[in-house]
Copies of this chain bind each other. A is one copy, B any other.
């Protein structure tokens, strides 16, 4: 295992490599070339090889990469040996959709608790995961050794609840509320549909899109 942090983008791609590699295994393939893996994700073979170099893995020269080995290696880097546990905080429309998706797609990250403050749903299960009252956050996060949190509460509660999450011992948070957070004590990732959509709107405008195409042609 390396002593250096991997670039963000490399980590993102590793996650994608693993997903498509699992499918390759299911199809009975044992090895894969960098250009094959690249094609599956519409990126360049060089980028694949560089990423794999960065994680300190090697392929064999005429057979390519051993798929199972590579999956294991990525697993060690991203998920650790003992799989990390995830909680969803605020199990409304978005929280339920995400939970459902995560439950359907087996990953090494398992959602092992969800939290809400709505008395009517506390005690019930969503996709097989029990919903706890938000007041038990710390207790359960500690007991279950949950390290990752998905924040999907209404915006007005985002700041307060995110602090409680860190306080409870959560180490990484993905924030789906449209509220800009600043946390000390946990790694934070932010995502908002509207920002994404407006970015698409900008680059999809005919004038802008054609400029993009021109730039690609020049290369």
Residues of A within 8 A of B (CB): 5-6, 8, 11-12, 14-16, 19-20, 40-42, 77-80, 84, 86, 93-94, 96-98, 100-102, 105, 107, 109, 147-148, 150, 171-174, 178, 180-182, 186-187, 189, 191-206, 208-209, 211-212, 215
Contact = CB atoms under 8 A, between A and B. Distances in A.
A171 B201 CA distance: 9
A79 B180 contact: no
A15 B195 contact: yes
A195 B41 CA distance: 13
A202 B78 contact: yes
A110 to B, nearest CB: 11
A78 B198 contact: yes
27 contacts: A5-B208, A11-B199, A11-B203, A15-B194, A16-B192, A19-B178, A77-B202, A79-B198, A79-B201, A93-B96, A93-B97, A93-B100, A94-B97, A97-B97, A101-B194, A102-B197, A105-B178, A107-B194, A109-B194, A148-B204, A150-B197, A171-B205, A172-B200, A174-B196, A174-B200, A186-B204, A186-B209
B101 A94 contact: yes
B196 A191 contact: yes
Chain A binding surface SS class: helix
Contact of A195 (B16, B203, B215): B16
A72 to B, nearest CB: 15
B78 A41 contact: no
Contacts of A97: 93-94, 96-97
A22 B105 CA distance: 38
A171 B84 CA distance: 39
Given A78-B201, A101-B94, A189 B196 contact: yes
A102 B194 contact: yes
B15 A180 contact: no
